[in-house]
A and B are shown apart, each in its own frame.
Chain A
Amino acid sequence: MYDAGKILIGLIIFLAFATFPFYSNMGKAVAKPDPKLDTPVIQQMKVKQCVESKEFMRAEHMQLLNNWRDAALRRGERLYKGSDGRITEISFQNQCLRCHSNKKKFCDECHSYAAVKPYCWDCHIAPKEANNEH
């Protein structure tokens, strides 16, 4: 090997970058997020269902919220017709956060896992959380 010293340093740097995800996770077990559905409102529901199906909500709730915002504020439509025909009033505070009044144990649970930080709370008031138990 010519210039072995320099090349070895280069290769070590390459290895350090390329294997970063592996050694930085070594021996760590990360708990899956577990969004809690035990709010007073949801507990009183007979049929525990969201605005749309659970699978849809998990993947699409950001898009749904964006559509709600556009519908309510740009087009003045305050009613949302779900894919199963149910009509929901469009309101972030009075719908989503009425049922999911446990922002920390629900929204934040997933969001901190996925490292997303919705800026909605810059303006919208996060629900007051009664129980702070862990």
Chain B
Amino acid sequence: MGALLSFFVVIVLVLLALAGIKGAGLYVLFGTVIPYAAVATFILGVILRVIKWSRSPVPFHIPTTCGQEKSLPWIKYSKLESPAGTLGVIGRMALEVLLFRSLFRNLKTELRNDGPRLAYGSNKWLWLGGLAFHWSMLIVIIRHLRFFTHPVPFLVKIIDSLDGFLQIGAPHLMITGVVLLLALTYLFLRRVFIPQVRYISLPADYLPLFLLMGIATSGILMRYFFKVDIIKVKELTLGLASLNPGIPSGIGVIFYIHLFLISSLFAYFPFSKLMHMGGVFSSVLQETWPITAV
């Protein structure tokens, strides 16, 4: 019951923030100390992790290319699948990192009863769900830079207004917030409903999903339902970024829950499967296809 365990962990985190703020009034702990500690853990942890990886010897480079290799001049080779020069490698890596090209090849395998016979079929849902999640996550992170910069860069404003171009309600609805939560829900349900995937899913597979879902949910609740004073929120976040932290009074507890879940994710990141963020570059550049996939 990995899912339940992870779900329970996230609930405990939410309750901790709730009790810490509402019960004990630990504003400095939750608003300053933990966020700084989490960011430091994140940055140092990622760097140490990557350095540790880079020290493991790699006796053979095992290419995971899968198209026609460059050979005789009259045989057409697959420029992106099996690149022969630097430009091709960059192209292949860009397609992989930006569009998850190898996941596009994902197949489903099933045992048909008339035989029994093994059948393969195209299965693009994981690719689509993964792409939707990662891209909306990126846009959400860029949007949040409005809390950490002043003046806010033009790019951030443009992304913000594109994201809200539906102009539904006030504060206007952000498309990526909704897509993010839907994609996460899909990635979770897929682990629960596909028996083979459920069988190999561990608590460490569910925890990032639940943490992210908790972050997205608390953010959506804060923006549209239990509103907080955004000006004070920005005072706090800008204070953190300019190393001049302070706690403006009167920010709703939902903000501290959101912040604590994010801090937890940051601190957990270097120890979690989410490190595939760092791994994907070297793995596509060099040899093996990343071991992990959410």
Contact = CB atoms under 8 A, between A and B. Distances in A.
Interface of A: 1-4, 6-7, 10-11, 14-15, 18-22, 24-26, 28-30, 32-33, 55, 58-60, 62-63, 65-66, 110, 113-119
A56 to B, nearest CB: 9
Interface stretch (B53-61, B119-127, B181-189, B212-220): B53-61
Given A63-B170, A113-B150, A14 B238 contact: no
B148 interface: yes
Interface of B: 39, 42-43, 46-47, 50-51, 54-58, 145-146, 148-150, 152, 156-157, 160-161, 167, 169-171, 227-231, 234-235, 238, 241-244, 250, 252, 278, 281-282, 285-286
A73 B253 CA distance: 34
B50 A7 contact: yes
Contacts of B146: 114-115
A114 B43 contact: no
A103 B150 CA distance: 21
Contacts of B55: 1-2
29 contacts: A1-B54, A2-B57, A3-B54, A3-B282, A3-B286, A7-B50, A14-B47, A15-B43, A15-B47, A18-B42, A18-B46, A19-B43, A21-B145, A21-B149, A24-B149, A25-B150, A28-B150, A30-B150, A59-B228, A59-B229, A60-B227, A62-B170, A63-B170, A66-B169, A66-B170, A110-B231, A114-B230, A115-B152, A119-B167
Contact of A117 (B161, B228, B235, B252): B161
Given A7-B54, A14-B278, A25-B241, 20 more contacts: A1-B54, A1-B55, A2-B55, A6-B285, A7-B282, A11-B50, A15-B43, A19-B43, A20-B145, A32-B235, A55-B229, A58-B229, A60-B227, A63-B170, A113-B234, A114-B230, A115-B146, A115-B157, A115-B160, A118-B170
A26 to B, nearest CB: 7
Contact of B170 (A19, A55, A65, A115): A65
A106 B62 CA distance: 63
Nearest to B168: A66
B238 A25 contact: yes
B149 A10 contact: no
Nearest to B281: A10
Contacts of A63: 169-171, 227
A14 B167 CA distance: 34
Contacts of A15: 43, 47
A115 B156 contact: yes
Contacts of B286: 3
Contacts of B152: 115
A21 B241 contact: yes
Nearest to B225: A63
Contacts of A60: 227
Contacts of B57: 2
Name the 3 nearest CB pairs between A and B, nearest first: A21-B148, A62-B170, A115-B152
Nearest to B248: A32
**Residue among A4, A19, A26, A30 facing the most chain B CB atoms (10 A cut-off):** A30
Contacts of B47: 11, 14-15
A114 B235 CA distance: 10
Nearest to A61: B170
B44 to A, nearest CB: 10
A62 B243 CA distance: 31
B231 A58 contact: yes
A115 B150 CA distance: 9
Contact of A33 (B56, B148, B231): B231
Contacts of B42: 18
Contacts of B51: 1, 7, 11
A114 B161 CA distance: 13
Nearest to B58: A2
Nearest to B167: A119
B63 to A, nearest CB: 15
